[in-house]
Chains A and B, each alone.
Chain A
Amino acid sequence: MDNTTSENEIIIETIDLKKAYGAGDALVMAVNGISIKIKKGEFVAIMGPSGSGKSTLMNILACLDQPTEGRYILDGEDVSEYSRPELAMIRSQKLGFVFQSFNLLPRVSALENVMLPMIYRRENRISLAERKHIAENALEHVGLAERMHHMPNELSGGQQQRVAIARALVNDPVLVLADEPTGNLDSKSSEEIMELLHSLHDRGRTIVMVTHEPDVAHHTERIITVRDGKLFDDHPNGKRVTWQNATGIDFSPAQEAVQP
């Protein structure tokens, strides 16, 4: 893998990002001028107390919400003024999501859950057989090869979150967004999920994770703290950046990940 060219590639850049709710006297600036840059391959935690604006910031970074002011450049594309359908396509092409409450479809198997994002692809559409193959690979890599035909309610919380992670990766996103991924898990499962995210990071994935647990944040290599809608702190976590040395075959970004 050629890492040298991508090392300084910027995946996320926000310039004076603002998000306002309400109007007049009731106007609330949930995000009030945040400028950050996140480079390819970084594993970043966003922290902050509730009401700090971290969720709003996350929603904008996840292309689920539009900023009121400022610019958001994702993977070289300015998406700050994109419409809802355009944002949906960006999410499909560039983003993978992991949620606190897993959000698996209850009536379909783990495998079909993982295949879901590929249904909505508009570019590089692939056949059903290929999709199935990719989804099976993804489930194997998260250690659920034996359970791919199970329904979500037949899986433990940790296993469900692994399915969700596999689902986040099948479209080979440039950015994985995890919103409190361990919030609904016991400590052992949390540990396993963090290990899994860590191994993804080791293989070169760019991951942005929202959390309020310092323990979880310490798994990352950079912690951004938001307070009152502003950037409060942004410091490296002193973690070793290991992905350059990975002998990645699994979930390295780019082509390798989607090709069987």
Chain B
Amino acid sequence: MNISEILKIALKSLTSNKLRSILTMLGVIIGVAAVIVMISISAGTEATIAEKINGLGSNLLFINQAFTRGGPGQGNQQGGLVYSDVAAIRDQVPGVAGVSVEQQSSVTIKYNDNTLTDITLVGTTPDYPTVRNVQIKTGRFITETDNERAEKIVILGSEIAAELFGETDPIGETIYANNVQLVVIGVLAPKGISGGTDFDSLIYTPINVVFKKFENNPFARFMGDRVRTIFVSVDQNASMDTVKEQITLLLTGRHKVTSDTLDFNITSQSDIISTQESTTESFRTLLAWVAGVSLIVGGIGIMNIMLVSVTERTREIGLRQAVGATPADIEVQFLTEALMLSLFGGLIGVLMGVGGSELFGKLSGMRTVIVPYSIVLSFTSAALIGVFFGFIPARKAAQLDPIVALRHE
């Protein structure tokens, strides 16, 4: 028998019972499609996360206030991060490219008759554009002098500028934020949503203005200009770990705490990345298991039907043997049928998986990225499963005794 004859016989046998063949393939189709869709979802999620992390700004360290062991009210009331820590870090730690703080308040802003409510006002420092990786479109950002003098100035996100001023140039105009007059000195270039923050709908003012005019907490004034988070951008050439260590030393001394009673903690971007990676890793492993199990179930379906087929066609097998088919001929024929089922199923599964990923992405709004290796992987697995699960039925067929098979009813 040559290959084309073997293929022809297998095809004939499969098409003679179309419904059954399709149902048998269904398991493999679903399995292969599941692998592709799941990998595309997890790849999409990873890409989204990677973008978010990059959007945070490069080489960032986050210094967060941490409660001391005694807890609030019992521990060091004067502890935590204060605004003067910013200057100390910038001036005393080598390898720091920029330090900023962000103190947010929710304000209502007004320009002429135009009122916008619930706008986030960010009190910050001159290094903000470096640290947060934003560009200035027109005008300028806050300077050190602005901050020292607590100048009542404001820089607008691109969207806010457009909403308040439309086509007009906002530089030099005065807006009201909770009845505080602020002069517009700059507009930022659009950045979009990054790391969960819509940068285009923020407005910025010197942090000292926030301390003086916008602090929500009535106790804040007694607390020595406390800040929640300090952002440190590390110089490209400096080591994150060294900078992290030196900041720890510096702040430990300034806050008069020991390593056991630290009132802050420092996280680097790579810490966040590795956390995210391990999360997506376990997500992906879970998906791979689910998809793998469904492929195996598909394979068992093929084996089941092939075993039924061998029993049903016992007489045919006997006859083929009588007219000269060797056991190997019979084995090859049934293996080919199983392989054909799994390959056709795999092919349809690939098409449905690619289509399904696109559809899922459109319907759910989640991002899906079709990864070529998932197609290769799932299709190859389908083929291997065809051989693996086709083997037992094919062997059973080949070992039939022609005398018994010919007499089979």
Contacts and interface: CB of A to CB of B under 8 A. Distances in A.
A59 B325 CA distance: 16
Question: Chain B: interface secondary structure?
Answer: helix
A89 B326 contact: yes
B150 interface: no
Interface in B362-409: 402-403, 406
A99 B406 CA distance: 9
B323 A97 contact: yes
B320 interface: yes
A120 B323 contact: yes
Nearest to A56: B403
Interface residues of B, number: 23
Contacts of A97: 322-323
> Looking at B12, B322, B327, which has the most chain A CB atoms within 10 Å of its CB?
B322
Contacts of A167: 323
A88 B326 contact: yes
A88 B403 contact: no
Contacts of B9: 119
B5 A119 contact: yes
Interface stretch (A100-108, A132-140, A185-193): A100-108
A121 B326 contact: no
B71 interface: no
B104 to A, nearest CB: 76
B316 interface: yes
Contacts of B315: 103
Nearest to B17: A107
Interface in A85-111: 85, 88-89, 91-93, 97, 99, 103, 105, 107-108
Contacts of A171: 323-324
A88 B406 contact: no
15 contacts: A64-B321, A64-B403, A85-B326, A92-B324, A93-B324, A103-B319, A105-B319, A116-B319, A119-B5, A120-B1, A120-B323, A120-B329, A121-B324, A167-B323, A171-B323
Closest 3 CB pairs of A and B: A92-B324, A120-B324, A117-B323
Interface of B: 1, 5, 9, 12-13, 16, 315-316, 318-329, 402-403, 406
Interface of A: 59, 62, 64-65, 84-85, 88-89, 91-93, 97, 99, 103, 105, 107-108, 116-117, 119-121, 167, 171
